Structure 1
Amino acid sequence: MPFQFDPEYFEIFEPLIPLLSNRPKLTVHEIPASRKGREAGLTAFLEKLPDSPDVEQATYHVEAADGYCILVHGFTKKGARSGPGPAILHYHGGGMTIGTAQLYAKPLARLVSETSIPIFSVNYRLAPEYTGTTLVEDCYAALVWLNQNAEKHNVDPARIAVFGESAGGGLAAGVTLIARDRNLQPPLAKQILVYPMLDDRNMTANEAVEPFAFFKTADNITSWTAVLGDKAGKSDGVSAYTAPARAKSLAGLPPAYIDVGELDIFRNEDIAYATRLLAEDISTELHLYPGLPHAFDLIAPNISATKRAYENRLKAMLNF
């Protein structure tokens, strides 16, 4: 039987189809000039979420390996907890080419409000202005900062998880590889990967999925090319820290939570990554949502499937 959209999702998505069908296909060189407009489109979805008045926000400055100043936005529930507890380090989505931590303030504050776990979201540098491992190294620098300043933020350094959606999920996976290889102590407690972007070699459209895809194969190729240049999709010359699906071994990584829609072009690479983690006997929770494409939760935040996904993510955040 051919694929079809989740009926609730399609009711929300159908009016957007003409607008999305007319989206221009960007080249890498057009990304910087188009960034503000594309971020405004993302904001239109994220701003629909309610405010969380019980959550405080703060901004921190973290020095990258090359001296660059990375901004980290902290979200903490009002009222100090009695002792050190878990924390989550977040990396935003946007194809590694758009987005900021502050754009995701509403959904992140909501998570903090409901879990009471502080979240620190990283403004890593974006492609194509910055390329290769620069982005994931920014993300790792923020992890080292949180690890070394855990006491100051009332955080148990043995209970730090990384979390990201889409490109941010891929960066979170890359950070776990770096943390393992550089013997970060205490080791990371968990990786929470929401429809993660893991494999630059995903360059051939799946004809059964592509008509339903929100983030299409052409978008994926442009994003990976922005990060990797002409190495994107080639057999060598790409760091697994940037494209985690290329890692030779996933042994020694922290427990994982992964979710993805059935109609997401990342579906197969995400399932394959989860399968490899399980083959290494790493505890892995995998959710596949039928009839849903990439970023379904942003397009349709109030449908039944999104509510299920949100509850599953909350449970993952509360269980490490």
Structure 2
Amino acid sequence: MSSEHLLEPDLKDFFLSMPPLTLSREQMPAIREAREKMAMEQMPPLPPEVSIVQEMAPGRDGAPDVRMKIYRTPSDRKDRPAILHLHGGGYVLGSPESNAPQHCAWAKGMDAVVIAPAYRLAPETAFPGNVEDAYAALAWVYRNAEQLGIDTSRIAVAGESAGGGLAAALALLVRDRKEYSFCFQYLIFPMLDDRTTIRADLSPMFGEFVWDREKNRFGWTALLGQAPGGHDVSPYAAAARADDLSGLPPAFISTGAMDLFTEEDLDYARRLMAAGVPVEMHVYPGAPHGFMWVAGARVTKQFARDAREALARGIGAA
């Protein structure tokens, strides 16, 4: 049964014309190269008033250094908020450069310092490489906060899709290690639960477009280094596995109603609220995974307003 009839009218042309994509270990280098090339070719000019520099954070426990892009506007302020942004891509694709327009918008519009690490991707690096890279980037931010003009009480973690799942997992790891802290979680259709890959009761109205069950199984298998859905998966790999969600920072969670992750995202939001964590949750009708790629769509504009307002409040930049 197709969910095509549920698509918002101004999303239909884009999503119905998308070419199929099959992920495989052998093809990953070529797929990554093609996607990055396309992203760079389609990228609009970036605002010249935003400085973009590259830094390296020392890896943890002998791991490789973590490459990061830092976005900020010139300022003498010492109390600016910061956003640690983790890119999406199913844990197997993506780079911080592909999100440069969003990073610049946050830096310019919220006077925030945006840190975007290039965490190691699967299957070449399985868990916990990705979350340890993100943790190393956060440690670097804390060590360099004064130089960057960052108020460490106003650091948010953010991400979309796998980046949202990684952001949620990092928030758990930060809570449990008790070395640092986040003030806010910004989770956009986060990829939270490997057990979605083995669910037999999931409606076909979820996940027909872009990120489907086959891609989801590939992504989780690559990250975990084993078949997903087992009994021994760490919550720092799949945040939905955490038994205790108390003590986490306030969260903004959003998803499209046609997204494969809709049910796991709704359940995570419910569990956060039950644990006493403030949550703002949005589900956008007629929207599949990645719906905001259609910038002019009504639902994208609504999401952009909701998300920006929530993030600005979360970091005290409203």
TM-score, normalized by length of structure 1?
Answer: 0.91
1:68 aligns with 2:64: yes
Consecutive unaligned residues in structure 1, runs of 5 or more: none
Give the equivalent residue in structure 2 for 1:190. Answer: 184
For the Cα contact (< 8 Å) 1:166–1:196, is it kept in 2? yes
Q: Which moved more, 1:226-235 or 1:286-295?
A: 226-235
Is 1:164 equivalent to 2:159 in the alignment? yes
Q: Cα offset for 1:43?
A: 4.6
Q: Is the CA contact 1:136–1:171 (under 8 Å) kept in the aligned structure 2?
A: yes
Q: State the identity as a percent.
A: 36
Aligned equivalents of 1:13, 1:30: Cα separation in 2? 23
1:86 aligns with 2:88: no
Distance 1:168 1:309 in 2: 18
**Residue type of the partner of 1:319?**
R
- Offset from partner CA, 1:235-263 (integer Å, 9 cap, x none): 22x21101101011111100001000000
Per-residue deviation at 1:29?
A: 3.9
The equivalent of 1:145 in structure 2 is 140
The one-letter code of the counterpart of 1:7 is P
Residue 235 of structure 1: aligned partner: 231
C-alpha deviation, 1:38, in angstroms: 3.4
Partners in 1 of 2:95 and 2:24 — Cα distance? 21
Q: How does 1:239-258 map to 2 (within 5 A)?
A: 239-258=234-253
Compute the displacement of 1:209 (Å).
1.9
For the 8 Å contact 2:207–2:259, the answer to whether it is kept is no
| Aligned partner (choices 184, 199, 211) of residue 193 of structure 2 | 199
Number of matched residues? Answer: 308
For residue 310 of structure 1, the aligned residue among 304, 307, 317 is 304
Counterpart for residue 24 of structure 2: 27
Answer whether contact 1:60 1:72 (CA < 8 A) is retained: yes
Q: Does 1:127 align with 2:117?
A: no
Native 8 Å contact 2:207 2:261 kept in 1? no
Q: Which runs of 5+ in 2 are unaligned?
A: none
Distance in 2 (CA, whole Å) between partners of 1:211 and 1:167 is: 15
d(CA) in 1 for partners of 2:226 and 2:142? 35
Write the deviation string for residues 255-295 of structure 1: whole angstroms up to 9, x where unpaired: 00100000000000011111010001111010100000001
Query: For residues 271 and 238 of structure 2, what CA distance do their matches in structure 1 show?
Result: 15
Instruction: Give the equivalent residue in structure 2 for 1:98.
Output: 93
CA distance in 2, matches of 1:28, 1:254: 36
Q: In the alignment, which of 222, 229, 241 is matched to residue 226 of structure 1?
A: 222
SS of the counterpart of 2:69? strand
- Would the alpha carbon gap of residues 231 and 31 (structure 1) be closer, same or farther in structure 2, given more than 3 Å must change? same
- The one-letter amino acid paired with 1:276 is R
CA distance in 2: counterparts of 1:133 and 1:177, whole angstroms: 13
C-alpha contact 1:216 1:265 (8 A) present in aligned 2: yes
